[in-house]
Amino acid sequence: MWSSVQRWRGVALIGAVSAVALWLAASGQLVLYIHPRYIVFTVVMAAIALVLVVAAVASAASRRASGDDVPPSRRERALGLSAAAIAGAFVIGMLVLPPATLSTATAQQRQINATAADLETLDAASEADDKTVARFTVREWSGILRQTSDLAFFADKPVTDLVGFVAPDPDDPENVFYVSRFVITCCAVDAQPLGVPVHLPSWQDRYAVDSWVSVTGEFGANPSSSSAQPVVVLPDTVEAVEQPSEPYLF
């Protein structure tokens, strides 16, 4: 038994990770960790890994049955037991603590809108028709706000059903919050938080931090004297909504 455990220490870890990856894919939650473009590749690689794990276990069982096993040392037994324990803890942890989206805590650590602005976004927005503007997400609006605070630019460009999670403005958390989303290039490790500031005094009385909302309104000068954001959304409506099936922007 100990010989098998020692040999399986790497196999157990690979099998655990592969099984969890397939479970996340089957439950539709793998998108919380990686970009959708990599899901098929990840699933295929995880399936291949599990096949190899089964083959390795079968090979070990065959050698044991033929009496070719060499008794492991005390150190090898300790390593094997540790690997098995880590693999088990990993799987149990993923089942007990279900996957969750990145939250305000991560957004504050990585600083909302800290990434460089896309210069093409402003040019595209200046020529966009009403239907296109109505489809703008947090990604487009945050990019525009990082490039201009000219109110004339926003005069005929209302915000329509802008969906994101609530993150307080660190400068004036009582009156301003961000409608926020994470943008992912590859996986959750490189996720960057983006946000559009909304001026709504005492918003905490109605909306919890990290809850999801849909905002409709117009851009205007920020009434807050504390917030560093010159332009904010002055909302007509702010409605609580369910978290989207794909909470990240890609």
pLDDT tens-digit readout, 110-126 = 678 776 556 567 777 88
**Hey, which residues does 233 pair with through a beta bridge?**
198, 219
pLDDT tens sequence across 54-69 = 777 776 666 666 655 5
Whether the CB-CB separation of 196 and 159 falls below 8 Å is answered with yes
104-240 to CATH, choices 1.10.10, 2.40.50, 3.40.640, 1.20.1070: 2.40.50
Q: Closest Cα partner for 31 from 182, 221, 203?
A: 182
Comparing 9 with 194, which gets the higher pLDDT? 194
Whether the per-residue pLDDT at 239 is higher than 80: the answer is: yes
* pLDDT for the residue 2: 44
Whether the per-residue pLDDT at 248 is higher than 80: the answer is: yes
**Every domain of the chain and the residues it spans:** 2-96, 104-240
pLDDT tens sequence across 3-24 = 554 555 667 777 777 888 888 8
Out of 13-22, 68-77, 186-195, 219-228, pick the least confident: 68-77
